[in-house]
């Protein structure tokens, strides 16, 4: 019988991915939801994962009575591993939640990253530097690990020396010009700010080393020099799967031209079928995709119950794919066919519990932004962006924007922000704004994409997935003007999407814009290029990417 590993479940977020990673390594997992569960005292190896806001998580630990059993576990010398906000809980407190005290094992406060020079949250793959002459728990400074957070234990040299003197082993991570604790350990306590369960094989090795009690490992013979470009993050490549039911009722990956996913009439007019969602997702993970996104493109017609196949897709994909998974389509308040109201927070919860790390909101984000402006540039707390972000953290809420170019002769013709375009309109118009659309491009609104991005950031979104209907499926490269336009609107990360047709287009978007990630769909589905070919090309032109060379 396999050994059971216990995970504290303060009900603050998705633990499915961590369970999947531990189970993939051959262990059984048991979630502990109740601090009085006798199994908790008997647990040998304990995980303390946390996502979302610091106050939310730490308060749950205290109110649900987990503080004492955690302290008893640590005092008994039994191994415990904190992940993300689980690491943060070991500190005194956080600037995020003034007055909320942490477990105070590490005498330091967490601070917010400076968003004036870089995107915040930090979302992406960063390295770490081990302080001292040996590594701990298989952390490898040549590997990349997945981070997603706005607050961190930002440290000075002096604080590092003090913590070392107190017996803490440290691995430090640099994001832009700020350096923070990426991993920390002392005696039986170990914690990582990054998500090992979302860091490919490199991350699984860290979990494995913890579970096997393999504390100290030699550092690699050669430690690659850190490349400070792009604030230390690799160029993030995302594979996107537009999923829908075809005319035979099967769930397929499809791909449109400017959002039209049906073959031409003379070819039968069927929904284009490019493969099975889980198989393709696995293929792209194996090829080195840094993230996989599933968009249920006709979800606005369905109820969450009838969306069950998408939940199943996620559950299956999350079992063997250890990079972040995003799911979009139908994240909104819905009414089931039997009349039951299901709030968006619950719909999102279904996806998180099935293994999604982020949800992406399209149509309903436009509704929320319109309401925000009508309400004097304020949210009222009721939009799905606000409710999901409050419960699961801003990093879990992606806004999927489906914009279309609108040409004008004079910026005065619209209340939306325009740009002077290098590609004038059909009548020589020199200015353009981007109209947002809803319901998969079927309806166009008079809200600009720039305005949508700003409103949704203010409401608590953590990332923008920036599509472009004019470019979708065109293989002609990204709309660089649109990407720069939206990047100038927000400080949250932006994912460039629509138009990628060859590896050179990825290089172009990273070189000519400050996009935080680039997404491709059709060129991968049609087997024209693989994700690793894109990464090889980026490496050739001097853009760093993540390559997971580890083996378990
Ligand atoms: O409005 O919250 O229910 O979400 C619906 C989601 O489905 C939105 O994220 C919306 O972008 C997406 N969607 C709806 N209809 C379509 C369609 O194609 N008919 N697809 C659609 C969006 C855009 C990208 C695509 C890139 C890259 N597809 O996901 O993968 O454009 O393509 P390329 O690299 O081949 O050019 P809601």
- Judged against a pLDDT cut of 70, whether residue 344 lies above it is answered with yes
Distance 466 CA to ligand 1 centre (A): 10
Whole-number Å distance between alpha carbons of 422 and 66: 59
Looking at 203-207, 308-312, 452-456, which range is the least confident one? 308-312
Ordered structural domains, the chain, with CATH: 4-230 (3.40.50.880), 236-540 (3.20.20.70)
For the stretch 273-302, pLDDT in tens is 889 999 999 999 999 999 999 999 887 555
Q: Does 497 sit in the ligand 1 pocket, CB within 6 Å?
A: yes
Taking the C-alpha atoms of residue 349 and residue 494, their distance in angstroms, rounded to an integer, is 24
- Contact status, residue 330 vs residue 296, Cβ threshold 8 Å: yes
Q: What's the confidence (pLDDT) of residue 410?
A: 97
**What is the distance in A from the centroid of ligand 1 to the CA of 90?**
40
CB under 8 Å, gap of 24 or more: what pairs does 23-27 form? 23/319, 24/204, 24/319, 24/320, 24/322, 25/204, 25/207, 25/208, 25/211, 25/552, 26/2, 27/2, 27/3, 27/211
**Of all protein residues, whose CA lies closest to atom 26 belonging to ligand 1?**
498
Neighbours of 373 (CB within 10 A): 14
* Catalytic site residue from 6, 73, 149, 195: 195
Contacts of residues 68-74 at CB distance under 8 Å and 24 or more positions apart, as own/partner, are: 68/35, 69/35, 69/40, 69/41, 70/8, 70/46, 70/103, 71/103, 72/41, 73/40, 73/43, 73/46, 74/105, 74/188, 74/189
Q: Tell me: pLDDT of 11 over 80.
A: no
Q: What confidence tier does 245 reach under pLDDT thresholds 50, 70, 90? A: confident
- Tell me, what's the pLDDT at 12? 64
- Please work out whether the CB of residue 520 comes within 6 Å of at least one atom of ligand 1: yes
- How much is the pLDDT for 366? 98
How far is Cα 485 from Cα 452, in angstroms, rounded to an integer?
Answer: 12
User: What's the per-residue H, E or C state across 346-403?
Assistant: HHHHHHHHHCCCEEEECHHHHHHHHHHHHCCCCCCCCCHHHHHHHHHCHHHEEEEECE
pLDDT of residue 55: 85
Band (pLDDT 50/70/90 cuts) for residue 303 is low
How many helical (H) and strand (E) elements, i.e. helices and strands, does the chain have? Answer: 17, 30
Ligand 1 closest atom vs CA 293: 29
Per-residue model confidence (pLDDT) at position 305: 58
| Band of residue 265 on the pLDDT scale cut at 50, 70, 90 | confident
pLDDT score at 170: 98
Q: What pLDDT does 251 receive?
A: 87
Q: Is the CB of 304 under 6 A from ligand 1?
A: no
Provide the 8-state DSSP code for 213.
T
- Residue 473 in contact with ligand 1 by CB distance below 6 A: yes
pLDDT the model gives residue 304: 53
Burial class (CB in 10 A: 0-12, 13-18, 19+), 288: buried
Ligand 1 atom nearest residue 501's Cα: 34
φ, ψ (nearest 5 deg) of residue 505: -65, -35
Angstrom distance (rounded) from CA 188 to CA 490 = 41
How far, in Å, is the centroid of ligand 1 from the Cα of 294?
9
195 is catalytic: yes
| pLDDT of the residue at 300 | 54
Q: How far is the CA of 308 from the centre of ligand 1 (A)?
A: 19
Q: Is there a contact between 392 and 13 (Cβ–Cβ < 8 Å)?
A: yes
Q: How many angstroms separate the alpha carbon of residue 271 from the centre of ligand 1?
A: 14
Residue 2 has pLDDT above 90, yes or no: no
Query: What's the pLDDT score for residue 56?
Result: 85
The ligand 1 atom nearest the CA atom of 240: 30
Residue with the smallest CA separation from ligand 1 atom 27 is 498
Catalytic pick from 9, 96, 364, 402? 402
Of all residues in the chain, what percent carry a pLDDT higher than 90?
Answer: 82
- Whether the full predicted model's pTM is greater than 0.75, yes or no, is yes
Query: To the nearest 10°, the Cα dihedral for 348, 351, 353, 355?
Result: -140
Q: Give the number of other Cβ atoms within 10 Å of residue 466's Cβ.
A: 28
The CA-atom distances, in angstroms, between 110 and each of 50, 84, 121, 145 are: 15, 12, 14, 20
pLDDT at 112 over 80: yes
Give the largest CA-CA distance in the chain. Answer: 76
Residue 456 has pLDDT above 70, yes or no: yes
pLDDT at residue 54 greater than cutoff 90: no
CA of 125 to the centre of ligand 1 (A): 25
Q: Is 499 in the pocket of ligand 1 (CB under 6 A)?
A: yes
DSSP assignment of 294-322 equals: EEETTGGGS-TTTTHHHHHHHHHHHHH--
Give the nearest ligand 1 atom to 467 CA. 31
Task: Tell me the C-alpha distance between 38 and 32, whole Å.
Answer: 10
Q: What is the pLDDT of residues 388-420, one digit of tens each?
A: 998 888 999 999 999 999 999 999 999 999 999
Residue 306: pLDDT band with limits 50, 70, 90:
low
Distance CA 347, CA 343 (A): 7
Could you read off the pLDDT of 516-532 as tens digits, one per residue?
999 999 999 999 999 99
Query: What pLDDT is attached to residue 476?
Result: 97
pLDDT tens digits, residue range 116-155? 999 999 999 999 999 999 999 999 999 999 999 999 999 9
The number of the ligand 1 atom at minimal distance from the alpha carbon of 300 is 3
Q: Residue 519 in contact with residue 495, Cβ under 8 Å?
A: yes
The question of whether 84 is a catalytic residue gets the answer yes
Pocket lining: 307 vs ligand 1, CB cutoff 6 Å: no
- State whether the beta carbon of 360 lies less than 6 angstroms from ligand 1: yes
What is the C-alpha separation between 110 and 54, in angstroms, rounded?
10
Phi, psi angle pair for 397, to nearest 5°: -115, 110
Q: At what angle do helices 54-63 and 67-75 cross, to 10 degrees?
A: 80
**Is the pLDDT score of 202 beyond 70?**
yes
Listed range (76-90, 291-305, 438-452, 487-501) with the worst mean pLDDT: 291-305
Q: What is the pLDDT of residues 352-383, one digit of tens each?
A: 989 999 999 999 999 999 999 999 999 999 99
Taking CA atoms only, the protein residue closest to ligand 1 atom 7 is 297
């Amino acid at each position: 019988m396999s050994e059971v590993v216990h995970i504290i479940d303060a009900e603050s977020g998705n633990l499915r991915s961590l369970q999947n990673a531990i189970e993939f390594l051959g262990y059984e997992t048991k979630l502990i939801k109740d601090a009085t569960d006798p199994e908790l005292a008997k647990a040998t190896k304990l995980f303390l994962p946390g996502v979302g806001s610091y106050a939310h998580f730490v308060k749950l630990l205290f109110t649900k009575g987990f503080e004492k059993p955690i302290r008893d576990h640590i005092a008994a010398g039994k191994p415990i591993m904190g992940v993300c906000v689980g690491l943060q809980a070991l500190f005194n407190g956080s600037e995020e939640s003034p007055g909320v005290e942490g477990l105070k094992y590490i005498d330091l406060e967490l601070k917010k990253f400076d968003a004036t020079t870089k995107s915040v949250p930090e979302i992406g793959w960063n390295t770490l530097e081990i302080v001292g002459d040996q590594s701990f728990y298989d952390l490898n400074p040549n590997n990349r690990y997945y981070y997603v957070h706005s607050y961190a234990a930002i440290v000075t040299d002096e604080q590092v020396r003090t913590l070392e003197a107190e017996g803490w082993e440290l691995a430090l991570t640099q994001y832009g010009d700020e350096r923070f604790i990426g991993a920390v350990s002392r005696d039986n306590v170990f914690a990582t700010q990054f998500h090992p369960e979302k860091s490919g094989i490199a991350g699984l090795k860290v979990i494995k080393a913890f579970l096997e009690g393999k504390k100290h490992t030699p550092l690699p013979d050669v430690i690659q020099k850190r490349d400070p470009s792009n604030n230390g993050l690799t160029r993030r490549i995302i594979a996107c799967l537009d999923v829908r039911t075809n005319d035979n009722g099967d769930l397929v990956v499809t791909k449109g031209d400017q959002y039209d996913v049906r073959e031409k009439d003379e070819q039968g007019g069927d929904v284009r079928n490019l493969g099975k969602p889980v198989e393709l997702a696995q293929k792209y993970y194996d090829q080195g995709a840094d993230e996989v996104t599933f968009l249920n493109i006709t979800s606005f017609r369905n109820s969450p119950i009838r969306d069950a196949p998408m939940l199943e897709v996620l559950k299956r994909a999350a079992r063997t794919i250890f990079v972040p998974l995003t799911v979009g389509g139908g994240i909104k308040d819905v009414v089931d066919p039997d009349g039951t109201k299901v709030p968006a927070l619950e719909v999102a919860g279904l996806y998180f519990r099935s293994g999604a790390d982020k949800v992406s909101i399209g149509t309903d984000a436009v509704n929320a932004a319109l309401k925000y402006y009508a309400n004097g540039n304020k949210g009222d707390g009721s939009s799905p962006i606000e409710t999901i972000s409050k419960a699961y953290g801003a990093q879990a809420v992606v806004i999927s924007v489906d914009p279309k170019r609108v040409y004008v002769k004079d910026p005065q013709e619209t209340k939306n922000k325009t740009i002077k375009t290098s590609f004038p309109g059909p009548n020589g118009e020199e200015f353009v704004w981007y109209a947002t659309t809803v319901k998969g491009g079927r309806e166009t609104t008079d809200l600009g994409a720039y305005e949508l991005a700003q409103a949704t950031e203010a409401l608590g979104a953590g990332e923008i997935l920036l599509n472009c209907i004019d470019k979708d499926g065109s293989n002609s490269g990204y709309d660089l003007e649109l990407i720069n336009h939206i990047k100038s609107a927000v400080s949250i990360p932006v994912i460039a999407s629509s138009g990628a047709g060859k590896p050179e287009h990825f290089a172009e978007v990273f070189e000519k814009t400050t996009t935080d990630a680039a997404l491709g769909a059709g060129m991968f589905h049609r087997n024209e290029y693989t994700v690793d070919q894109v990464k090889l090309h980026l490496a050739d032109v001097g853009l760093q990417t993540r390559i997971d060379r580890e083996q378990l």
